[in-house]
Structure 1
Amino acid sequence: MITHHPHYELLNAYVEGELPASLSAGIAVHAEMCEICAKNIQRITEEAAANTFSDDANVYNSLSKKVITDKAVDNISEFDLMMKSIMEDDSITEMMTQEPLDVEIKGTTYPLPTALRSMAMMGWQKLGKLSRARINLNEGSLHTSLLHIDKDGGVPSHTHKGFELTLLLEGSFEDEKGTYVKGDFIWLTDKHTHTPHTKEGCLCYTVADDALQFTQGLSKLLNPIGKFIY
């Protein structure tokens, strides 16, 4: 069961269109899997729409008190005719359905969520039990990727110079705080340190604005390549 969700501020920013494409996609994918957040997004959207229409109504009521000129009457008539034409059009347009898009990694095939299917993905790069494919969104310092960890693989103990979003698309992994499953939306910052490990293997969607920082033993020697992973 999904237990990790985007906080309210992120959902609200998503509805308002204030997030970069990488984070918007992450929330959209999570909402595909999470009924709770899908309903919260719908509620926030309805509230925003109600507030917008309320503001429009106030403007309309204010304008309606003014004298309507002949030009204004002409504009209203044209609008009425346009709406009548739209409402009387009983033609049906058949919508094209998008075929599922899969990615294959080391012999395992994974279906991609709808929000990720149109994104340009670079080739897979491999380092031990880690495989990573960058998603090219041209967002400057924001790095967006698909990250695959093989069975019984993991990432050494690390923290983050900035933020890190990890959205589990398939499989599961564990760290010091518990177990994460498909659909979990995990938001970490420089205040968090963890050692993710997976028994069955997993595929994740990740967004980070800086490199991770290894924190223990010989793994510190890997810090120069911390940007490879996220």
Structure 2
Amino acid sequence: MNSPITNAPQLRSNFVDARSMPWQSTDFEGIEMKILYKDNEGRSTILFKLAPGAVVPLHEHTDLEQTFMLEGALEDDEGVVAAGNFVWRPGGNMHIARAPNGALFLSVFNRPNRFFDGTKFFTAKS
């Protein structure tokens, strides 16, 4: 019989009950979020919900960003990522993202995005 593995407290798994977390508003109309993870290095994992017609204004990905689309679609000048699909953007990529019919997606950021209108990144206020 195998004995259970006991990790030290700082090495234990951290379970997040995302379903019970309330949606938080953002500085952008029609965009809500649940911050599932963030750290002092700037990494974060965020669940986003965009209402139909919502727009993420011009921003730069300062490092790798990865997004898995759960529902709906996001589009920009480079293409469309629809439900069940994945997109990643390298650092330096700039775009405006639109959700004409709404969207639900999970994004992983290595560092915060830079918004050109001066808005702070989503994790800066929480």
What CA distance in whole angstroms lies between the structure 2 residues aligned with 1:135 and 1:165?
Answer: 15
| Native 8 Å contact 2:62 2:92 kept in 1 | no
- Cα displacement string for residues 138-182 of structure 1 (whole angstroms, at most 9, x for unaligned residues): 695321111011100010011112221111000012101112111
- Cα displacement string for residues 25-52 of structure 1 (whole angstroms, at most 9, x for unaligned residues): xxxxxxxxxxxxxxxxxxxxxxxxxxxx
Higher helix share: 1
Matched, 1:134 2:58: no
What CA distance in whole angstroms lies between the structure 2 residues aligned with 1:227 and 1:137?
Answer: 10
Equivalent residue runs for 1:55-74 within 5 Å: none
| Native 8 Å contact 2:38 2:123 kept in 1 | no
Matched, 1:198 2:95: no
The CA RMSD over aligned residues, in Å, is 2.4
TM-score relative to the length of structure 2 = 0.73
Q: Tell me which amino acid in the other structure corresponds to 2:92.
A: K
Matched, 1:227 2:122: yes
Structure 1 runs, 4 residues or longer, greater than 6 Å off: none
Larger RCO: 1 or 2 (CA < 8 Å, sep 6+): 2
- Cα displacement string for residues 197-219 of structure 1 (whole angstroms, at most 9, x for unaligned residues): 0111000101102111123xxxx
Q: Which has the larger radius of gyration?
A: 1
Higher strand share: 2
Cα 1:183–1:201 change in 2 (3 A) is: same
Corresponding residue number in structure 1 for 2:23: 124
Corresponding residue number in structure 1 for 2:71: 170
Cα 1:214–1:141 change in 2 (3 A) is: closer
Q: Tell me which amino acid in the other structure corresponds to 2:25.
A: K
What CA distance in whole angstroms lies between the structure 1 residues aligned with 2:39 and 2:80?
Answer: 32
Q: Which runs of 5+ in 2 are unaligned?
A: 1-14
Cα 1:160–1:172 change in 2 (3 A) is: same
Q: Tell me which amino acid in the other structure corresponds to 1:124.
A: W
Q: Which runs of 5+ in 1 are unaligned?
A: 1-117
Corresponding residue number in structure 1 for 2:12: none
Identity within the alignment, %: 24
Corresponding residue number in structure 1 for 2:10: none
Matched, 1:185 2:57: no
TM-score relative to the length of structure 1 = 0.42
Q: Tell me which amino acid in the other structure corresponds to 2:121.
A: G
Cα 1:140–1:202 change in 2 (3 A) is: same
Corresponding residue number in structure 1 for 2:7: none
In structure 2, the residue corresponding to 1:161 is in which secondary structure?
coil
Matched, 1:143 2:44: yes
What CA distance in whole angstroms lies between the structure 2 residues aligned with 1:190 and 1:180?
Answer: 18
Q: Tell me which amino acid in the other structure corresponds to 2:36.
A: I
